[in-house]
Structure 1
Amino acid sequence: MNNVSPTIISERIILRKPKESDVTDRYKCGRSKELVRMYGGDTRNITSLTMEEATQFIHRILDNKFEWCVEYNGRCIGAARLTVNKIDHRARYAVGIFDTSMLGKGVGTEITQLLLQYAFEELDLHRVDLRVLEYNKRAIKCYEKCGFIQEGVEREGALIEGKYETDIMMSILNREYKELKESFVKMELLH
């Protein structure tokens, strides 16, 4: 395993390290009240996204070996990350699409399938898991479609806007991935 995550390409999506134009793409998408809520943020006093915040967001992606910008039709629409634990052969998965015009188009499913393929076939992991807020039904549906199984609930563990919300823990194991593999999108790796 080399020190830089590869570029991962499918028919519609490119997962890659950031480039300069990504800051502008992130800035133009701004902050959506719906997305802030789905990611567990406080929507009561949303401020406009600044260019500095967009720059910091993209620079954080550079600092993580297994984090990618999501490119669709030549622009950055989100980010995805695997937080890998090499000792236990597992990773925590996170994805965020900040361009609301891309929601409901199967993009999240495609990104998730690409990173599961990378996690299990290239990194040879045993398990990939995630946490998602119980009210984020669209994300849960996506994860279930990709083979994640609900394995736990953290009841009222997140205080959001003065209300305790519940997190759902989900995971997929290597053997479960192999059973589903035929339905996944095909990727190409560029190192």
Structure 2
Amino acid sequence: MKNVSPAINGPNVLLRKPVESDVIDYLNVETSRELIHMYGGNTKKISPKTIEKAQKFIQKIRENELEWCVEYEGRMVGQARLTVNNSDNRARYAVGLFDPNVWGKGLGTEITQMVLQYAFEELGLHRVDLRVLEYNKRAIKCYEKCGFIQEGFEREGALIEGIYETDVLMGILDREYKALKHSFVEMRLLT
């Protein structure tokens, strides 16, 4: 059975499938060197955004069954994704806010809590995990606030701009989520 992401409404953000204006929203935000660095990309080779690249970016979100555009104040500012492994009843989580103007507002925490609530309460998953670069302290703090536990490290497994960097492996189990869910933001599934 395929999982298709419903729209999920939180206090400040809406997680939804793409709409046509998302291409323009994406194009209107200049590529951030800090964002590229936190994603593990090469900040020395940033190419300008084009309409074609923006359309491909939005199309990938559209094609992924459990990926959402993040809408904040009426415009797209990022995306969130679950990649489900049904045989092990688990998922890999990823989130990214491409607009630096919305960083530091707690949106990453709200989005993560909304996606975890969906993963555990709607999909009935046992585990959600993620990988994050060790130097991405802001993201690690967000994930820990949402109940993720550092489970290990992949030492120097990512070569970024000539330096071997370490990934932090983090996870949260359904019982850990249930112990914390009372503190999570309230969300509504939209049809």
Coordinate RMSD, CA, aligned? 1.0
Tell me the equivalent position of 1:20. Answer: 20
SS at match of 2:28: helix
Q: Secondary structure at the match of 1:19?
A: coil
The residue matched to 2:101 in structure 1 has which SS? helix
Give me the TM-score of the superposition, normalised by structure 1.
0.98
1:125 is the counterpart of 2:125: yes
Residue identity opposite 1:27 in structure 2: L
Partner of residue 54, structure 2: 54
Structure 1 stretches of 5 or more lacking a match? none
Which residue does the alignment assign to 2:175?
Answer: 175
Matched, 1:112 2:106: no
Distance in 2 separating the partners of 1:187 and 1:86: 24
Q: TM-score with structure 2 length normalisation?
A: 0.98
Question: What CA distance in whole angstroms lies between the structure 2 residues aligned with 1:174 and 1:134?
Answer: 25
Counterpart code for 1:152 = G
- Cα distance in structure 2, aligned partners of 1:59 and 1:104: 28
The alignment partner of 1:29 has SS state of coil
Question: 1:44 is matched with which residue?
Answer: 44
Paired residue secondary structure (1:112): helix
The letter for the 1-side match of 2:139 is A
User: Cα gap change, 1:145/1:60 in structure 2, threshold over 3 Å: closer, same or farther?
Assistant: same
- Which residue of the partner structure matches residue 92 of structure 1? 92
- Inter-partner Cα distance in structure 2 for 1:126 and 1:2: 18
Residue-pair matches, total: 191
Superposed CA offset, 1:60-114 (max 9, x none): 0011110000000100000000000111110000000001000111000000000
Amino acid across the alignment from 2:45: N
- Amino acid aligned to 1:124: G
Deviation at 1:2? 6.3
Give the conservation status (yes or no) of the 8 Å contact 2:3–2:66.
no
Unaligned runs of 5+ in 2: none
The Cα shift of 1:3 comes to 4.9
